[in-house]
């Protein structure tokens, strides 16, 4: 399994941070056909071969993605797309 861990700092209030997380989730859910749901301040997502979380903290968002064997081949591309989307939406303060 390949792991992707991304931490993105932000200056958003809790409602803005949650809205930003929703934007990230919407993008990756659509692009990678993932199911998403909130559990407290953690957005969980997954499908066969991919599972992960996006956890909101006061000043940062933490993304953890576990890729199965087949999806692991695309780790660099997935990590780049997710990191860019997180930078974009969490910097919009």
Task: Kindly report the pTM of this predicted structure.
Answer: 0.86
CA-to-CA separations, 19 to 41, 70, 74, 81, 86, in angstroms, rounded: 12, 31, 27, 19, 12
Could you tell me which residues are beta bridge partners of residue 45? Answer: 36, 52
Backbone Cα Rg of the chain: 12
Can you say how many angstroms the Cα of residue 51 is from the centroid of all Cα atoms in its chain? 10
The pLDDT tens digits for 12-71 are 999 999 999 988 888 888 888 889 999 998 999 999 989 999 999 999 999 999 999 988
- Hey, where are the domains in the chain? 2-92
Q: From CA 18, how far away is CA 80, in angstroms rounded? A: 21
Whether CATH 3.30.310.50 fits 2-92: yes
| Distance, C-alpha 18 to centroid of its chain | 12
């Amino acid at each position: 399994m390949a792991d992707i861990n991304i931490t993105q700092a932000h200056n958003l209030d809790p409602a803005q941070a949650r809205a930003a997380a929703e934007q990230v989730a919407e993008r990756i859910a659509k692009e990678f056909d993932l199911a998403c749901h909130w559990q407290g301040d953690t957005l969980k997502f997954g499908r066969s071969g991919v599972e992960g979380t996006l956890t909101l903290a006061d000043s940062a968002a933490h993304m953890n993605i576990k890729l199965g064997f087949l999806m692991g081949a695309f780790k660099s591309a997935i990590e780049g797309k997710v990191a860019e989307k997180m930078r974009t939406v969490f910097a919009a303060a």
